[in-house]
């Protein structure tokens, strides 16, 4: 990405001791939230908001600088940075998923928390593609689900295979070709 390279080459930025991975993540998420496809941009925004909210919660919990762990430049990221000391980061009325993510962040078992977070994302994909029948949105959601499954198969082969078989069975019933 041109902006990353220009920043990396900038001597002042080098002197600031920037976290280059964070800059790259910010630019990647900014790019993703600006794609023309509505589902894809909302998916990127969902994941950006979840990641930033969780990062802010854990940064506060462990005494880290909240503003430094937030990536991207969307309104939610800006609100978190501006309200780093507020109990709700200024988000409880602004972010629909706020309460759900806070509840998920309270899960002490990391494995369970990740499983529930992926279930939350999976359900979001389901809700946002309910009327999509084998179009680009449907395929994108399917690929996102496959990525989640791939991660879980690596963690737990038996459970991953069960969920994969459920996904395939669901696809067999879901696929409807549009009438033209």
**Over the stretch 79-125, which tens digit does the pLDDT of each residue have?**
999 999 999 999 999 999 999 999 999 999 888 899 999 999 999 99
Radius of gyration (C-alpha) of the chain in whole angstroms? 19
Give the contacts of 95 (CB within 8 A, at least 6 positions apart).
49, 53, 76
DSSP string for residues in 106-165:
T---HHHHHHHHHHHHHHHHHHHTTT--SSHHHHHHHHHHHHHHHHHHHH-HHHHHHHHH
All structural domains of the chain with their residue ranges: 1-106, 108-180
pLDDT number for residue 177: 47
pLDDT number for residue 171: 64
- For the chain, give the mean pLDDT: 84
pTM of this structure: 0.77
| Mean predicted confidence (pLDDT) in 5-28 | 62
Please give the structure tokens belonging to residue 140: 């994108």
- Burial call 124-139: b when 16+ CB within 10 Å, e when fewer: bbeebbeebeeeebbe
Run of H or E residues at 22: helix 20-33
pLDDT at 145 over 50: yes
| Mean predicted confidence (pLDDT) in 160-176 | 66
pLDDT number for residue 44: 95
Share of the chain above pLDDT 70, in %: 79
pLDDT at 178 over 80: no
pLDDT number for residue 154: 78
Please choose, from the candidates 163, 137, 136, the residue with its C-alpha nearest in 3D space to the C-alpha of residue 151: 163
Q: What is the largest CA-CA distance in the chain?
A: 60
Query: Distance (Å, rounded) from C-alpha 50 to C-alpha 117?
Result: 9
Please choose, from the candidates 32, 51, 175, 55, the residue with its C-alpha nearest in 3D space to the C-alpha of residue 121: 51
């Amino acid at each position: 990405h041109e902006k990353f390279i220009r920043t990396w080459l900038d001597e002042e930025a080098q002197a600031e001791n920037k976290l280059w991975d964070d800059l790259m993540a910010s630019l990647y998420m900014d790019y993703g939230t600006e794609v023309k496809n509505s589902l894809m941009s909302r998916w990127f925004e969902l994941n950006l908001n979840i990641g930033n909210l969780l990062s802010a919660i854990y940064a506060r919990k462990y005494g880290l600088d909240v503003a430094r762990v937030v990536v991207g430049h969307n309104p939610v990221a800006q609100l978190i940075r501006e309200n780093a000391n507020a109990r709700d980061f200024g988000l409880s009325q602004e972010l629909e998923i706020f309460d759900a993510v806070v509840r998920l962040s309270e899960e002490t078992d990391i494995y369970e928390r990740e499983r529930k977070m992926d279930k939350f994302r999976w359900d979001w994909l389901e809700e946002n593609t309910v009327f999509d029948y084998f179009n680009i949105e449907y395929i994108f959601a399917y690929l996102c689900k496959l990525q989640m499954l791939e991660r879980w198969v690596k963690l737990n082969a038996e459970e991953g295979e069960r969920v994969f078989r459920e996904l395939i069975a669901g696809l067999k019933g879901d696929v409807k070709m549009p009438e033209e």
